[in-house]
A and B are shown apart, each in its own frame.
Chain A
Amino acid sequence: MTTQHVQMTINGQPYAADIEPRLLLVHFIREVANLTGTHIGCDTTSCGACTVLVNGVPAKSCTLFAVQMDGAAISTVEGLEQNGALHPVQEGFFEEHGLQCGFCTPGMMMTAVAFLAQNPNPTDDEIRRAISGNLCRCTGYVNIVKSIQYAAKKQREAQTAPAAPAEPAEAIR
């Protein structure tokens, strides 16, 4: 078995390994880096459960080889929380009941994070289009759209008033 050396950062942490060239990025993240928040829901690049950010751009990590990521900066759900504060998108999903079984949620949130960076003031229809590559079988999407709107609003408010962010209504322990 030939191996190839690869190095990348995931959520800012460096990872290096000698791996089979065929190792999928999602398996690298889950089984080499042991970050199991990124999920697998299909084998045809259809569900988006595996969505991560590659240099800030959403990508389905089930359809990339880890060796293609040499030198890349990967972001996963585990990197959203910063200094003990949840990302506005995480907070939105909590407040608006944007998840049920939680299996699609990490991929859905990564897509939302990248989308809001591009479009900080979206319409509901724009959100629906943005998440149309992420399948959720539980929620019926209505509350996911609300969750992303919640995050968009919170981020816009933080932009205009960079003072202390408002506490969520209920502590998310």
Chain B
Amino acid sequence: MTSEAPIIRGMGHSVKRKEDPRFLRGKGHYIDDFKLPGMLYMDIVRSPYAHARIVNIDASKALALPGVLAVITGKDLDAAGLAWMPTLMSDKQMVLPVDRVVYQSQEVAAVIATERYIAADAITLVEVEYEPLPPVMDPHKATDPDAPLVRPDRDAKTNHIWHWEAGDAARTDEVFQNAEVVVKQDLYIPRIHVCSIETCGCIASYDKIDGKLTVYMTTQAPHAIRTVFSLVSGIPEHKIRIISPDIGGGFGGKVPVYPGYVIATVASLQTGLPVKWIEDRSENLQADSFARDYHISAELAAKKDGTMQALRVKTLADHGAFDAAANPSKFPAGLFSIITGSYDLQAAHVEVDGVYTNKPSGGVAYRCSFRVTEAVHTIERLVDTLALALSLDPADVRMKNFIPPEAFPYKSPTGWEYDSGNYPAALQKAMAKIDYAGLRREQAEKRARGELMGIGISTFTEIVGAGPSHTFDILGIKMFDSCEIRVHPTGSAIVRIGVQTQGQGHETTFAQIVAEELGLPVENITVEHGDTDTAPYGLGTYASRSTPTAGAATAVAARKIRDKAKKIAGHLLEVSPDDLEWQDHKFQVKGAPGRSVTMKDIAFAAYTNFPQDVEAGLEAVDYYDPPNLTFPFGAYICVVDIDRGTGMVKIRRFVAVDDCGNIINPMIVDGQIHGGLTMGMAPALLEAITYDEYGNIQQSNLMDYLLPTAMETPVWETDKTVTPSPHHPLGAKGVGESATVGAPPAIANAVVDALSHLGVTHLDIPITPWKVYQILEAHGAAEA
């Protein structure tokens, strides 16, 4: 028999997205779109103070309002042992406070009512008497002897949480002692908020008859949530179902367990009715976990010719009132030790100290894999600082210090093994594309005329795909990921994965992986995820880990199916399986390409005509434990013009050359990079969360917290090099966050470059017009 190879559109095809038809018609299923019979609504009373004792809560007026069924306070939860919950970082966190609040907008009580508007009315009727306490707002003063204690519940009576370090201190000091040049830079990477356009929310629905709790929840990690809910509540895990429906953007902000989820669950357990809780934007911005907030002091030792030798970094990390960061357990400072970046250094030593302050929990991602953005910003700024100090071109300094392509796998001074890379190729491509030499000439001419133009480079290395189980776990659960594939008799398939899309297009790209590996047309493959009752156990989507982990699991599961299919193919073609080869997405007899069978033929036979020694059916599961992380990288070049009248920075051009190994869907990768670049530009130029001395947040809504619009966002110019990961089954690497990580220093470096002739050597982000204008004015360079 002979079979035509089907058109499968697997790896490398810009397949249009399978999820789009429902979104385009307004038929997505986001959390607030669900309406369950008898559903109640929850709204939350929040603290106006950053630090206060709760003297009394009087709910009588709220309870008197028709439609209000209950007001839940910390005392109620305490009676059930649920006033506190564990965080992902071995700390604990208040669900509702019993006697004190520790940040502004903290949850204080919850109202359960029959209607959304009634619940909103009722929260204004809950009377809470507070006794304000002095807050700790400045992390530098958090460990002063007279600093108020943020967390008196802990045994250790200090605001210091932990000290963490990586690298070799003695060796680093030695290199510094003998260095010809040392440059030093303090940097502050401000607190920012992911602010996905959909806020967080849930519907908890407890069925008292069969004792089953179903929670629809905006979560990036449904299985981990199920396990935590079971451990905390005592409900057996098979009686808990977490459903993560369509998610309107995650970016890390939907990894943590927020108190609202737990309170709504308690309310449903009590009432036996579904309880919906949806955050307002202001609640989302004020109380959900934040990213960054790293105060960094960094030094680079080098030779006079620009050879970089060693890096020494001390960091103060503001974690807010609870250490609820979303990092792997053994990494309180995430993967910050990737800070030596793309450069071949002799030694490095990195220290981070975490402290409590009276702010909401910090340390979640902002489209960034575990503190890599902070690391990349530091090293990429320092390279430029060195170049400026030595009057060298920043591109030359980078080329001189890159880890050479032949040095991979490369062991970094902080202990990472980079899997692959070719940094000079990426930078050369970016320089050619943007005409770097031409830009430098233009800059010199403009500068002579008094015009301000700058060129900034960032050549970053990412570290994504957590991770190998020997090192990476969350609350003890190893960070593998999973895939289950079932091929149906007529040659279509369902794929279930342990990761969860929030816009990345998993329903399309995972179908492409299976299409490629099994030779089935992509349109005949359905991908499901996000429902813990059906999906295999996985750790979720964040830190660019979906493709490195679950993507690998999908390829391996498909290959298991292909191994079995080979036996069936041999049976159908009446040859030994050893005489078959997988060519053009079908099995054919070696040396006789006319004799072949497709996966469609084999699938039918797997249920109707399989050999005696083979089980019926065609399915497989794989739990993939990656041998290493993947190390995507890129070279970005940004050109800015600065308006001397306003201090406004305009990005004129931005070229991004990314290398994420082999690409599954180029259209989707490009889209991820566009989005990532925009979320890199945002903190570089616009976004920061700040507090006044009393603990009042200064950017509590979208009028004060400035997300980029289409007006500020430039036309991103993307390109690629391809350096496959040697250990990933598809040669792929993660890509979702590369651009967020790589873009900020390219922009900051461009602005500093534009102002360097005025003596400017550094600017902290966000680089706002006001910040720039003040500099221009101080140097007499502002236009009247």
A interface, CB within 8 angstroms of B: 20, 22-23, 27, 30-31, 34-44, 46-47, 49, 76-78, 80-81, 86, 90, 93-95, 97, 99-106, 109, 124, 127-129, 131-145, 170, 172-173
Contact = CB atoms under 8 A, between A and B. Distances in A.
Given A43-B281, A94-B16, A142-B674, A103 B197 contact: yes
B26 A172 contact: no
Contacts of A143: 671, 674
Contact of B710 (A99, A100, A131): A131
Given A41-B197, A137-B197, A138-B671, 20 more contacts: A42-B701, A43-B701, A44-B701, A46-B702, A47-B281, A78-B26, A78-B27, A93-B24, A94-B24, A97-B16, A101-B248, A102-B28, A102-B248, A103-B196, A103-B198, A131-B710, A134-B710, A135-B702, A135-B709, A139-B674
Nearest to B706: A46
A77 B25 contact: yes
B281 A42 contact: yes
B17 interface: yes
Contact of A101 (B503, B709, B710): B503
A132 B19 CA distance: 25
Contacts of A43: 280-282, 701
Given A100-B675, A101-B248, A131-B710, A90 B24 contact: yes
B709 A132 contact: yes
Contacts of B20: 93-94, 99, 102, 172
B667 to A, nearest CB: 5
B687 to A, nearest CB: 11
Nearest to B282: A43
15 contacts: A20-B117, A36-B30, A39-B197, A90-B25, A97-B17, A100-B672, A101-B197, A101-B247, A102-B246, A103-B28, A132-B709, A132-B711, A140-B677, A143-B671, A172-B24
A37 B26 contact: yes
A135 B248 contact: no
B647 to A, nearest CB: 21
Interface in B644-676: 667-668, 670-672, 674-676
Interface string B241-269: 00000111111000000000000000000
Contacts of B672: 100
Contacts of B674: 139-143
Nearest to B281: A42
Interface in B684-701: 701
A6 B656 CA distance: 53
Contacts of A140: 671, 674-678, 713, 716
A42 B196 CA distance: 10
- Pick from B23, B195, B247, B711 the residue with the most CB of A within 10 Å: B23
Interface of B is mostly: loop
B759 interface: no
A47 B702 contact: yes
B436 to A, nearest CB: 23
B41 to A, nearest CB: 11
Contacts, number: 180
A173 B280 CA distance: 34
Contacts of A46: 701-703
B729 interface: no
Contacts of B21: 94, 172-173
B503 A100 contact: yes
B398 to A, nearest CB: 25
B503 A38 contact: no
B16 A170 contact: yes
B575 interface: no
Contacts of B249: 100-101, 103, 137-138
A23 B16 CA distance: 39
B715 interface: yes
B197 A49 contact: yes
Contacts of A44: 281-282, 701-703
Interface string B87-131: 000000000000000000000000000001100000000000000
B309 interface: no
B197 A136 contact: yes
Contacts of A78: 25-27
Contacts of B329: none
A139 B713 CA distance: 11
Contacts of B668: 97
Nearest to B673: A140
A143 B503 CA distance: 14
B491 interface: no
B529 to A, nearest CB: 14
A161 to B, nearest CB: 25
A36 to B, nearest CB: 4
A39 B117 contact: no
B503 A138 contact: yes
A42 B193 CA distance: 14
Contacts of B28: 37, 102-103
Given A42-B281, A141-B678, A35 B197 contact: no
B32 interface: yes
B117 A22 contact: yes
Contacts of A135: 197, 702, 707, 709
B726 to A, nearest CB: 30
B48 interface: no
B502 A101 contact: yes
Interface in B19-57: 19-28, 30, 32-33, 35
A63 to B, nearest CB: 13
B134 interface: no
Given A140-B677, A141-B713, A100 B505 contact: yes
